[in-house]
Amino acid sequence: MTRSISILGATGSVGASTLDLIRRNRADWRVVALTANGNVAELAALAREFAVEVAVVADEKRLGDLREALAGTGIVAAAGRDALCEAASRPVDMTVAAIVGCAGLGPVMAAIEQGGTIALANKEALVSAGDVMTAAVARHGATLLPVDSEHNAIFQCLAGSRIGDVRWITLTASGGPLRLVEDLSAVTPEQAIAHPNWDMGAKISVDSATMFNKGLELIEAHHLFPVGLDRIRIVVHPQSVIHSMVEYRDGSTLAQLGPSDMRVPIASCLAWPQRMDTPCAPLDLAAIGELTFFAPDEVRFPATRLAREAAEAGGAAPAVLNAANEVAVAAFLARKIPFSRIAVLVERVLDDRSFSSAPGSLEEVLGVDAEARMRATELLELA
């Protein structure tokens, strides 16, 4: 049976992997909507290839270019935040939400409100607006399937089990490219984005290098799998073969293993509750040889500590953490601050007590986000 799908963030790494799987199973899918931030040429090419109903570019200044590229196709071209939300609200069997950053919050909420299944690859939806989003999921009868390899692994390990039987959830972290680098103050953007195992965008790669990625994933896991923050832990696993583990009260630990290829967790979501083929090579454990594990070094990489403290504080703190980190990472990539200052800036913004209490709506979340970005930018200028 053919299923309908929309992909928000079609030109990014998750979007590209999703479309690769759909190409291999064209009879199973009808692509309704595709969106991109500013890559009009690729978006238009994909929209033509999959004969979509609507293509949306986030950058309103590129609307003319998109319309020109799609002239004569009958595909609707649109631009801007409202258009992204309209595309996300179209009734489909599945929405892949892969827009990076808080720009994805409105579209994710729009997808939730149409009550379908959302394959969630946008961390910020649950990090910055976890309580708001999970309440909306319950209210509209939507289904969230986690795309992040770690959360997808947990989801698979929990299949058929009761959340009350869980003793521990363990998120694995590769440790990134800088785990063994002594002088973090001298790290360049090129070094930070050179992830040893995963092919990701620049921002997520820097987050992996700082360990903020794992801190954000901890907050996300807290909302997806409500076992309590004190039962979610992090372990560094450089080989990135075990993607996460769940330990049950009887002493059994279930682990999900797989190659470092996002097509595996995406395929898990696309086929759920069934399975589908992927082109990924099977694991050769004999060739891998050994799997190693280490406790996180929260002195050199304080991001996971800051994220746990923000999650424990609740209220606006997780949204503040995320916003400040986005500003800091952008400044580092622009060579305005050293790598070692990313976590310092985030902690300084978190220490600012002027932020409002827990946001109760998406608009309030976005207000906290804007306020935190402004404060982070001010601190950058003072440095």
User: Is 290 part of any known ligand binding site?
Assistant: no
User: Is 185 part of any known ligand binding site?
Assistant: no
- Distance of alpha carbon 57 from alpha carbon 196, whole angstroms: 31
User: Is 123 part of any known ligand binding site?
Assistant: yes
User: Is 151 part of any known ligand binding site?
Assistant: no
User: Is 252 part of any known ligand binding site?
Assistant: no
Q: Where are the beta strands (DSSP E) in 81-222?
A: 94-97, 117-120, 143-146, 166-173
User: Is 148 part of any known ligand binding site?
Assistant: yes
Nearest CA to 6 among 80, 73, 99? 99
User: Is 49 part of any known ligand binding site?
Assistant: no
User: Is 268 part of any known ligand binding site?
Assistant: no
8 A C-beta contact, residue 242 and residue 167: no
DSSP letter assigned to residue 254: E
- Distance of alpha carbon 359 from alpha carbon 320, whole angstroms: 11
User: Is 364 part of any known ligand binding site?
Assistant: no
User: Is 149 part of any known ligand binding site?
Assistant: yes
User: Is 214 part of any known ligand binding site?
Assistant: yes
User: Is 37 part of any known ligand binding site?
Assistant: no
User: Is 217 part of any known ligand binding site?
Assistant: yes
User: Is 208 part of any known ligand binding site?
Assistant: yes
Nearest CA to 72 among 108, 48, 43, 46? 48
Both tokens of residue 326?
């986005």
8 A C-beta contact, residue 231 and residue 166: yes
User: Is 240 part of any known ligand binding site?
Assistant: no
User: Is 60 part of any known ligand binding site?
Assistant: no
Q: Which residues are annotated as a binding site?
A: 11-14, 39, 122-124, 148-150, 174, 195, 201, 208, 213-214, 217
Q: Which residues are annotated as a binding site for 1-deoxy-D-xylulose 5-phosphate?
A: 123, 149-150, 174, 195, 208, 213-214, 217
Q: Which residues are annotated as a binding site for NADPH?
A: 11-14, 39, 122, 124, 201
Q: Which residues are annotated as a binding site for Mn(2+)?
A: 148, 150, 217
